[in-house]
Amino acid sequence: MAIEMVKISHVSKAFEDFVVLDDVSLLVNHGENLVVFGKSGTGKSVLLKCIVKLLVPDEGEVFIEGKNVHTISNAELTELRKNIGFLFQSAALYDSMSVRENLAFPLIRNFFFTKQEVEAKVKRALEMVSLEHAIDKMPSELSGGMRKRIGLARSIITEPKLMLYDEPTTGLDPITTKEISRLIRDLQNELKMTSIIITHDLSCAQIISDRAVVLDNGKIKYEGSLKELTASTDPFLHDFFTSDIIEE
């Protein structure tokens, strides 16, 4: 029987009069890779931020491994977050720190590793994203693709159980997009993580996902396999994926 990792139950969120999420419910099981599609402004990032309590929903509940994220104590939330990785759209690398310091930061702050252990983990994470040579660079010296890879390395360095990706391939060229997508898939296989991936990119989803969800106007428009989704005759879904399918 599948075990629930994330349960989103009747979540709604509005900013002033603009409803972004409207009664959204979703289940993600352990080890599953769920892709969330949707037009810009349909609440995909808001949904991700509600999961980790960067935003608080107006209504509804979010559970991670059975714990209600929005009612547990701060100490419990901190413990929970130690098992969550989050790759931001902009990678959100700390500007004032080198790549080494960026990667070491969550390890030093949250765990009791020795200096040698931290160094070894940093090198291993950089090896996984093939950027060992960038260890002493500052974020300003990195290209967009490199920043995404370093962001990914920082997110997985603590070996989280749950990984959230906010548009991991946006703004990248097709080759780097495929590289990042394959890298995400390989990391998922190696670290056995559960993942929720927000993307517009069908090719990225095809490489990474087990299941897909489409958000439209704050509601779930479709939930099921990617194959059925791309073959859908629904006008909205058809329009949404047509351009990608033609390119294929």
Partner 1 sequence: MKNISKKHSAAYKSIAGFLFGVGQLFEFSLRFLKNVFLPPYEFHEIKKHMDELGVKTLPIVSVTGFIIGLVLAMQSEPILSRFGAESVLPAMVSLSVVRELGPVITALIFAGRVSSGIGAELGSMRVTEQIDAMEVSAIDPFRYLVVTRVVACSLILPVLTLYVVFLAIFGGYIAMILSQGMSLQLYVVSVVEAIRFGDIIPGVGKTFFFGFIVGIVGAFKGYNADKGTEGVGKASTTSVVLASLLILVTDTILVKITLMIWP
Residue of 4, 14, 22, 105 interacting with partner 1 (CB under 8 A): 105
| 78 in contact with partner 1 (CB under 8 A) | yes
Question: Which residues 154-173 are close enough to bind partner 1 by CB under 8 A?
Answer: 158
Name which of 156 and 226 has its Cβ closer to partner 1: 156
Residue of 19, 52, 72, 135 interacting with partner 1 (CB under 8 A): 52
Q: Which region, judged by CB under 8 A, interacts with partner 1, from 13-21, 92-100, 168-176, 232-240?
A: 92-100
Strand-pairing partners, residue 20, are none
| 90 in contact with partner 1 (CB under 8 A) | yes
Name which of 63 and 86 has its Cβ closer to partner 1: 86
CB of 109 to partner 1, least distance (A): 5
Q: How far apart are CA 119 and CA 14, in angstroms?
A: 43
Show the beta-strand stretches assigned E in 95-154. none
Name which of 44 and 49 has its Cβ closer to partner 1: 49
| 15 in contact with partner 1 (CB under 8 A) | no
Strand-pairing partners, residue 165, are 87, 197
Record the tokens describing residue 150, joined without a space: 């370093």
Q: Count CB-CB contacts under 10 A for residue 101.
A: 15
- The DSSP H or E segment spanning 247 is helix 235-247
- The DSSP H or E segment spanning 34 is strand 33-38
